[in-house]
């Protein structure tokens, strides 16, 4: 009986190790994947989401995504953002981005889990950082409501293109 239990535990540990290593292996191109929890799910104008990233590879191309999580009580079918990017050369770019969260009939487009929906929206595809150094990204909500209610998490994901 003890031998069977030891074998079962060994199999479970091996399976867990394989699953974790496959997750790490598949995620090798991720440069950053940060999410910031919005306190009380009320995103105010002054609550800007900041991500800094050090870029050493200016040859590779990158995909940049906006991560977003809202509750099913979010009252709009979209969300407008202002995204500020300051490069290693201190040049700043500001871009307005609309994320569509639901169809016209109210069906949520994200990945649902309980009363939350998660979105990973492409921001820039095949983007090339021109200079090595520190880059700053700031994401702010650009809706009329202040605070914007039922927004749970906001973040940024940057990955190298394979």
% of the chain at pLDDT higher than 70: 84
| Residue 63: strand pairing partners | 159
42-82 pLDDT, tens digit each: 999 999 999 999 999 999 999 999 999 999 999 999 999 99
Does residue 24 belong to any structural domain of this protein? no
- Specify the CATH number for the domain of residue 127: 2.60.290
What mean pLDDT do residues 17-32 have? Answer: 60
What is the number of other CB atoms lying within 10 angstroms of the CB of residue 8? 10
Into how many domains does the chain fold?
A: 1
Residue 87 maps to a domain: yes
Contact 38, 143 (CB under 8 A): no
Q: How far apart are CA 54 and CA 32, in angstroms?
A: 10
For 129, how many CA atoms within 13 A lie in the half-sphere containing its CB?
28
DSSP states of 33-66 as a string?
A: EEEEEPGGGEE-TT--EEEEEEE--SSS-EEEEE
Asked whether residue 5 carries a pLDDT value surpassing 80, the answer given is no
Whether 50 is in a domain gets the answer yes
Pure H helices in the chain: 2-26
Confirm whether 101 is domain-assigned: yes
**Cα-based distances in Å from 117 to 40, 130, 148:** 16, 34, 16
Write down the pLDDT at residue 17: 43
Is residue 1 in some structural domain? Answer: no
- Per the domain annotation, does 99 fall within a domain? yes
Give me the domain span that covers residue 106: 31-160
pLDDT at 136 over 60: yes
Considering only 11-15, 139-143, 150-154, which range has the smallest mean pLDDT? Answer: 11-15
User: Does 18 map to a domain?
Assistant: no
Q: Within a domain: residue 22?
A: no
């Amino acid at each position: 009986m003890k031998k069977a239990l030891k074998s079962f535990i060994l199999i479970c540990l091996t399976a867990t190790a394989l699953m974790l290593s496959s997750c790490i292996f598949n995620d090798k191109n991720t440069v950053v994947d940060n999410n910031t929890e919005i306190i009380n799910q009320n995103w105010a104008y002054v609550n800007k989401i900041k991500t800094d990233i050090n870029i050493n590879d200016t040859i590779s191309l990158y995909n940049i995504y906006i991560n977003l999580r809202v509750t099913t009580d979010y009252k709009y079918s979209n969300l407008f953002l202002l995204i500020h990017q300051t490069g290693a050369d201190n040049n700043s770019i500001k871009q307005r981005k609309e994320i569509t969260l639901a169809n016209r009939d109210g069906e949520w487009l994200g990945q649902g889990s309980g009363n939350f929906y998660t979105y990973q929206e492409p921001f820039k595809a095949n983007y090339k950082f021109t200079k090595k150094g520190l880059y700053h990204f700031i994401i702010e909500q650009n809706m009329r409501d202040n605070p914007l209610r039922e927004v749970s998490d906001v973040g940024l994901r940057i990955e190298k293109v394979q």
